[in-house]
Amino acid sequence: MIAAAERFFAVCPRGLEALLAQELTALGAQACTPQAGGVAFAGTLETGYAANLHSRLASRVLREVCQAPCANEDDLYAAAHAVAWERWFDARQTLRVDVTLAGSQRSNAGFLTLRVKDAIVDRLRARTGARPCIDRARPDVRVFAHLDGRVAYLYLDLSGEALFKRGWRADKAEAPLKENLAAGLLALAGWDPSQPLLDPFCGSGTIALEAAAIAARRAPGLQRRFAFERLRDFDAACWQQLLAQAQEQAQHAAGAAVKIAASDAAPRAIETARRNASLAGFEPWLADGRLQFAVADARTVAPPAAAGLIVTNPPYGVQSQPGDSDLPTLMRQFAAHLKRHFGGWTAWLLSADLDLPKHMRLRETRRIVLFNGPLACRLFRFELRAGSYRRAVAGARLS
């Protein structure tokens, strides 16, 4: 039984912090405090495991092992040397250290990384007589140090591979969205499985597959391993219990009624999306039509229902189809199709192009700032009112 209160930090794409705090609270986390790029929270080690298994929005979950005043690199070395790392790993495991600096701090992150690494290695050598090897590519253990003004925070990584890697992706189509950002778009759009969903620029199917996993109440971490499984204090019984509960939850929802349609103009993207769907275990959903992938041009795609949500990230930046029209023209034609055939739908489009509403000749009813990696984007909401196209045409004829 794990009882002690621990401190954690869950990292997420910028713009999703408030939603992540809600998600973690629902998972039993306490004192959730959104900060730029993540959420600090408290809980037991079991809460940390559950956050890794169930969070759709986090990129990584870290366990705080030290918080100390830090005016210079000697303070940082002393803080890192005082941590009982031998509780969690030993010299047989490979190590990687990363240092991040808040805001406009100008210190040399490379040098500070070396100081933290030296402190850990010196401590383990003194205690165990051996020193761990550094492996930046595939480390067994990762330590993060974050310097915020005059405070140093040291964290042990519980996740390993980033959490957006759900363990089912075959190969990448053009510019795939990260799964946790796709989950964030669905959450911001307020999608729930009772609403028909369409992604008409689906690429490798990330948004549709994330929606399917939500409808199937399938924990995003069920198909992968985590760094905490390699730590010396790993509580296997607690983890097996969490896994069993997650599996039971998914079994109960296996028959969920849902309509998720996704399409793309590129046949190879649809092949990849279907392959991803079967790797993720959604073959039966493809067979009975709950999840549909089709080759279609977004400018002619048929609505899969009378009303519902479009959640999509259309191409931007580069021309995506050889011989295709330029992007403003593509988006204008797509918008004309929406106005004509999707009355009653609401469309949410993620784009780095701030002029998207202008190209579409539509006024957005919401505009949310989100980051796709380092790329500042906007999530635009457009309400497509039934009959608006006919009214617009009739108005144009009268004038």
Ligand X SMILES: C[S@@+](CC[C@H](N)C(=O)[O-])C[C@H]1O[C@@H](n2cnc3c(N)ncnc32)[C@H](O)[C@@H]1O
Q: Which residues bind ligand X (CB under 6 A)?
A: 173-177, 200-204, 206-207, 264-266, 269, 297-299, 313-315, 320-321, 324, 330
Give the integer Cα–Cα distance in Å for 21 and 369. 17
Residue 201 or 382 with smaller CB distance to ligand X: 201
3-state secondary structure of 378: strand
Cα 103 to the chain's mean position, in Å?
23
Residue 61 or 301 with smaller CB distance to ligand X: 301
Residue 83 or 309 with smaller CB distance to ligand X: 309
Residue 52 or 204 with smaller CB distance to ligand X: 204
Give the integer Cα–Cα distance in Å for 354 and 374. 16
Least Å from the CB of residue 86 to ligand X: 42
DSSP state of 171: S
The residue with its CB nearest to ligand X is 203
Residue 186 or 298 with smaller CB distance to ligand X: 298
**Six token digits for residue 373:** 């990696």
Least Å from the CB of residue 25 to ligand X: 28
Least Å from the CB of residue 377 to ligand X: 11
**Six token digits for residue 315:** 């191409």
Least Å from the CB of residue 98 to ligand X: 26
Sequence-ordered alpha helix ranges (H) in 168-205: 179-188
Residue 72 or 321 with smaller CB distance to ligand X: 321
Residue 78 or 266 with smaller CB distance to ligand X: 266
Strands (E), 244-365: 260-264, 291-295, 309-312, 346-351
**Cα angle vertex 369, ends 364, 370, to 5°?**
120
Residue 24 or 270 with smaller CB distance to ligand X: 270
Least Å from the CB of residue 80 to ligand X: 38
Least Å from the CB of residue 334 to ligand X: 7
Least Å from the CB of residue 153 to ligand X: 33
State whether the Cα torsion 188-194-196-199 is positive or negative.
Answer: positive
**CB-hemisphere CA count at 13 Å for 179?**
25
In three-state form (DSSP H/G/I as H, E/B as E, the rest C), the secondary structure along 120-131 is HHHHHHHHHCCC
**Six token digits for residue 288:** 């009975």
Give the integer Cα–Cα distance in Å for 207 and 66. 37
What b/e string do you get for 226-239 counting C-beta neighbours within 10 Å, with b at 16 or more?
bbbeebeeebeebb
Least Å from the CB of residue 208 to ligand X: 9
